[in-house]
Structure 1
Amino acid sequence: KVHILGGIGLDLKDYSYSPAPVDPVNFLFIGRLLKEKGIFEIIDAIKIVKHKFPNTKFTILGGLDSQNMGALSKSQLDELIAEGLFEYPGHVSNVKDWIANSSVFVLPSYREGVPRSTQEAMAIGRPVITTDVPGCRETVVDGVNGFIVPCWDAEALAEKMCFFIETPTQINPMGLESMKMAHQKFDAEKVNNRLFEIMGLNSSYEKIG
């Protein structure tokens, strides 16, 4: 018999809900700057959105990976920053603060487990735009707490970004749905208890320490 648990979950006590700032709308991507994370799609989508809504803010968090053939290069990154397409603080330690200061979380990845960064964004109460691939699609009910777009489709990604810019009143209601879903699906304690049930152990174990 096979059981699918999904993500290992989060200690939700470490994540406080906060309403999203929406003026201006600020989109956040967290991940290494790799092709497989959808970095090139998000860059193309940003260009589309900026053409229509030049004041929209975008923030990209994550390190360069010069050893990876599919990585964004340092020269490409420098050029994009010089164009003013997005803010790039690089790799940061205070990820939760950046999520709290964002409006919408975006991860157009080609493949994932259940992305921890998305779970964190949901726990803080941010709507999510992500791709229709295993792992990512488990984080979104399309139209409820965000949107699922086809993989490799910058135009579809830009379209959903534009939805939030044009209807910012949907950001916090969808973000609340994300938070509810995080508590239902990504609570580490519930995930652990489910694992104990599957293993036939008593889930009300005593915590050590």
Structure 2
Amino acid sequence: MFSVSLVAHMLREKGVLEFVAAARRIKANYPEVRFVLVGGLHPNPGSIQKEEIESWVREGVVEWAGQVADVRPWLAQTSVFVLPSYREGVPRSTQEAMAMARPVITTDAPGCRETVMDGVNGFLIPPRDVDALVAAMERFIANPNLIRSMGTESRRLAEERFDVRVVNQRLMQILGITS
């Protein structure tokens, strides 16, 4: 079964509303696709209220796991990871998805764009662009082989760019600490 997950605090700036809008549109044509929100509520004024999330669940648009201690089981059962955030540092959630060999759809915003090579391990979309998010999701639905090939590239890039041993070794070389 094809599934799409977003792992983040339930904040508007994480692109949760765009994720839900895209899910609603995809489900109109592909009702079997699962959309899963993983993450807890936040005291931030931009937080999405529990009642709103529960209404999406009742509508059948998304499933909501809430706050979880370990995202790995959730990522293991997702086909494609999505983070339509408006802005980030380099997001840990995309790195975790990449480490688990999942293709990523994220925004072409600073931080987010550092994790995806567009067309290689996923797709970059403009922030706040539901049409582009739907189109990227539909590319995976229409071409399921991309899930595996881009997922493999995600894992390779995660090892290359974000493995702490590799990063520390590069830093030590830059600082002249090792030969």
Which category describes the TM-score, using the shorter chain as reference length? Answer: over 0.9
**Which structure 1 segments of 5+ residues have no match?**
1-23, 204-209
Q: Deviations over 1:138-190 (max 9, x none)?
A: 11111111100000001110111111112112110110011111111111001
Calculate percent identity across the aligned residue pairs.
49
Which residue matches 1:138?
114
The alignment status of 1:55 with 2:6, answered yes or no, reads no
Within a 5 Å distance, the mapping from 1:140-155 to structure 2 comes to: 140-155=116-131
Q: Which has the higher helix share?
A: 2
Query: Is 2:149 aligned against 1:173?
Result: yes
Asked whether the 8 Å contact 1:48–1:155 carries over to 2, the reply is no
CA RMSD for the aligned pairs?
1.1
Distance 1:197 1:93 in 2: 35
Matches of 1:74 and 1:186 in 2, distance apart? 33
* Structure with more contact order per residue of length (Cα contacts < 8 Å, sep ≥ 6): 1
Structure 1 counterpart of 2:95, one-letter code: Q
- Report the residue type matching 2:17 in the other structure: F
Measured in 2, the distance between the counterparts of 1:89 and 1:171 equals: 23
What TM-score, normalized by structure 2, do the two folds share?
0.96
Q: Map 1:190-209 onto structure 2 (within 5 A).
A: 190-202=166-178
* Residue 76 (structure 2) aligns with: 100
Question: TM-score scaled by structure 1?
Answer: 0.83
Residue among 35, 42, 48 paired with 1:72: 48
Gaps of 5+ in 2: none
Partner of 2:87: 111
- Structure 1 residue aligned with 2:164: 188
Distance 1:99 1:74 in 2: 22
Structure 1 runs of 4+ off > 4 angstroms? none
User: Aligned AA for 1:75?
Assistant: E
Residue 69 of structure 1: SS of its match in structure 2?
coil
Which string of whole-angstrom CA distances, capped at 9 and with x for unpartnered residues, describes residues 104-142 of structure 1? Answer: 000001111111111111111110000000111111111
- Taking the aligned partners of 1:94 and 1:73, their CA distance within structure 2 comes to 23
1:91 corresponds in structure 2 to 67
Larger radius of gyration: 1
Please tell me the residue identity of whatever aligns with 1:84: G
Q: CA deviation at 1:202?
A: 2.5
Listed one character per residue, the Cα deviations across residues 20-70 of structure 1 (whole Å, up to 9, x for unaligned) are xxxx111010000111111111111111111111110011100111x3221
AA aligned opposite 1:36: E
